[in-house]
Amino acid sequence: MKITVNNKEYWANPGETILTVAEREGIQIPTLCYLKGFSPTGSCRVCVVEVEGQRSLTPACAFPAYEGMVVNTNSPKVRRARKTIIELLIANHPQECLTCVRNGNCELQNLSAQYGVRDLRYKGERRTAKIDVASPSIERDPEKCILCGRCVRVCHEVQNVGAIDFVRRGFQSCVAPAMDGSLNAIACVFCGQCITVCPVGALREKSSAKMVWEAINNPQKHVVAQVAPAVRVALGEEFGMEAGTVVTGKIVAALRRLGADRVFDTNFGADLTIIEEASELLHRVKNNGKLPLLTSCSPGWVKYVEHFYPDLLEHVSTCKSPHEMEGALVKSYYAQKTGIPPGDIFVVSVMPCIAKKFEAQRPELGDEYADVDAVVTTRELARMIKTAGVDFTRLPDEPFDDPMGESTGAAAIFAAAGGVMEAALRTAHYFISGKDMENIEFTPVRGLQGVKEAEVTITGIKIRVAAVSGLKNISLILDKIRNGENTWQFIEVMACPNGCINGGGQPVSSDPDRVRKRMEAIYEIDRSLPKRSSHHNESVMNLYKEFLGEPNGHRAHELLHTHYVERS
């Protein structure tokens, strides 16, 4: 079809909206409620345009193109309407930009500047509500909510949780949990995907920065920081670097300048997780254990299965997640080697995930001392670096500390959906056959699809696998398992779509290709390392000889494994 936009002719496919055509042709139309890939709602009206023949302005995100359509996206009437809509939103919004966590990265703030909103024309009663801070992971500020509905749609349509929705009507409308309760009292899994799509500061992570600064400034505390694989391909975005830029060495240098006594690599814990998980898989396959084995690295996913599929908990791996394994070893093996009492060691994990904050507080993860004392997100670390006045872009690349600084390419790919599966298969193949895979890159479980399935045969043993990201996708598979339609032996599950690279604690970016760029960088790290399978990590294998004994053995289970609980 041919349509005319701003006096210029363009082509359009049947079913495309005005906004879709405009985006493709580089015509900027502002949006707030719009989410690419979701069915449009047209609720915010910021994207209104003039369509010849229509009596009123039309939302570009929801209006389909048709042959001969004539559109004006920048008429005086359109500009006035957009500015008025923005002013009305601001009139019911707290004027707290200077103290808001999204200051400088707020879509409403950006639109206000773009459309020249310089005073408050509409004054009167504002919606008031209490901030919900009871959750260990998420803070919810209803007064800042602009009712765009993005968080609701992600929670329902992508994550299949439905923890929040629109409640009440008219001026009192708001987004909240059922009965206007706290996120901490419902079946929220703390994945944080609501935070990544919120255009303002109505949803944010609960910050642990103050606790970390206090530990750093306490001379009695020995602060050990560890860094997850997904952080190293995303943190640079907070300092103006392109998505996917690998900044591993700069992160180590920054943490040392903040005051960390030791900086270890969570990838060491990831390699350790693979040894334990591959051993657990083979044990179940050989001994008719509960199959399929479901991975347990994603705490949001673990909480989801505890809430919604508790009858399938026996299928979930008992392995702790990598940063929890590493924390447990810091307070046992490392404490023993250095002579530092475990109670004087403060472990802080830098993670792409806000569910890790909840995970670190679980009583099942730790004994006398918690494995991990605090979790800061990629965004929080960036703020701490800026507060300390460190010029991140000019930092040199520094190596991790030993002995928990060595890692392999298999650990790096944990950050991408399908990475845990691929890493586990590399080691499982070695454990079964005694030799490495000929083609170490198991591409069937790579990519941005929500569900990826494959079959691998190792010395006659067929293993049917799947890699799933996004909780709605796993619910379909869990229903099949529950109904006895089980065709898999091993399933990797990540709560966040596309895995940890798209975690709830990662930089909120306007780059639509940021996830792809982060994923490409992760696999490039894998290809660049001399060792690409976890069983080739000499530090990990020496750890078993010196301290843990055999993989999946008694001592390993005491420190590196856990259990889960049914939740209402």
**Contact at 8 Å (CB) between 235 and 186?**
no
Q: How far apart are CA 520 and CA 527, in angstroms?
A: 11
Q: Which residue has the tokens 């390392």?
A: 529
First-to-last alpha carbon distance for the chain, in angstroms, is: 53
Tell me which H or E stretch contains 456: strand 451-458
The set of catalytic residues is 277, 280, 297, 317, 356, 359, 364, 500
Q: Cα separation of 342 and 344, whole Å? A: 5
398 contacts 252 by C-beta, under 8 angstroms? yes
Omega within 30 of 0 (cis) for the link into 403: yes
What amino acid occupies position 529? L
Which residue is listed with tokens 């002719």?
A: 9
What count of other Cβ atoms lies within 10 Å of the Cβ of residue 454?
17
- The pair of structure tokens assigned to 166 is 């629109």
Whole-number Å distance between alpha carbons of 94 and 108 = 12
Picking from 490, 459, 495, the residue whose alpha carbon sits closest to that of residue 474 is: 495
3-state secondary structure of 465: strand
Pairing of strands 70-72, 2-5: parallel
3-state secondary structure of 165: strand
Residue 144 tokens read as: 């800042």
Instruction: Give the separation between CA 168 and CA 277, rounded to whole angstroms.
Output: 47
* β-strand pairing of 374-377 with 262-265: unpaired
CA 420, CA 502: separation in Å to the nearest integer? 15
Tokens read off for 295: 């991975």
